[in-house]
Amino acid sequence: MKIQFKGIKFLIIVLVLYIILLLSDTTHALSGLQKAASILLSLLPLFLLIITLTALINYFLKPKQIIKHFGKDSGAKGVFYALIGGIISHGPMYAWYGMLQDMRSHGLKEGLIAVFMYARAVKLPLLPFMVDLFGLLFTIVMTFYILIAAVLQGKVIDTVEKKQS
């Protein structure tokens, strides 16, 4: 199986940036490198989870089923799944790109990717922090608006996609 790597140019740019910083600002560059390594280590379990989740989706959901549940005609059910997925998904957004890319190649519509991405603004483990900082009413209202915005973003992205295709 041939692997087509993504982001090679981006990686080269970042490497060049690090080389320049290592020469000009060694202390900060090394600290940055250390931070990056600790981020990588902390994300390894999440990466493993995402690889497993993607494999299970591939195994249990045939492309036809992905189209049915998350494709053009998935309707409100697809939006609901994307909202729930976004809310419960953990870790940084870029960690989920691989799974979303895989599902998109099987028919996941772009509007649902946008719904998933914006619904991630509702961070369940962080809700107590928000309540503590802004209060319960504020947290409930903001969560409500986030979910509405997520659905609207999905609609707009789908409309743009329809117009372009």
Partner 1 sequence: MKEETPTLKKAFTKSLMSFISITPMLIAVMGLVGLMQIYVTPDILSTFFGHGSLADTLVGTLAGAISMGQGVISYVVAEGLMEQGVSHYALSAFILAWVTLGFVQLPAEASVFGLRFTFYRNILTLISTIIIAYATVLTVGALS
Residue 144 — φ and ψ, nearest 5°?
-60, -45
Cβ proximity to partner 1: between 63 and 75 the closer is 63
Cβ proximity to partner 1: between 50 and 79 the closer is 50
Closest CB 72 distance from partner 1, rounded Å: 16
Closest CB 90 distance from partner 1, rounded Å: 10
4: how many CB neighbours lie within 10 A of its CB? 5
Closest CB 73 distance from partner 1, rounded Å: 19
Cβ proximity to partner 1: between 58 and 68 the closer is 58
Q: How many CA atoms lie within 13 A of 58 on its CB side?
A: 13
Tell me how far apart the alpha carbons of residues 126 and 65 are, in angstroms, rounded to a whole number: 33
Kindly write down the DSSP assignment for every residue of 57-105, as one continuous string: HHHHS-HHHHHHHHSTT-HHHHHHHHHHHHHH--S-GGGGHHHHHHHHH
Closest CB 45 distance from partner 1, rounded Å: 14
The one-character DSSP state at 106 is: T
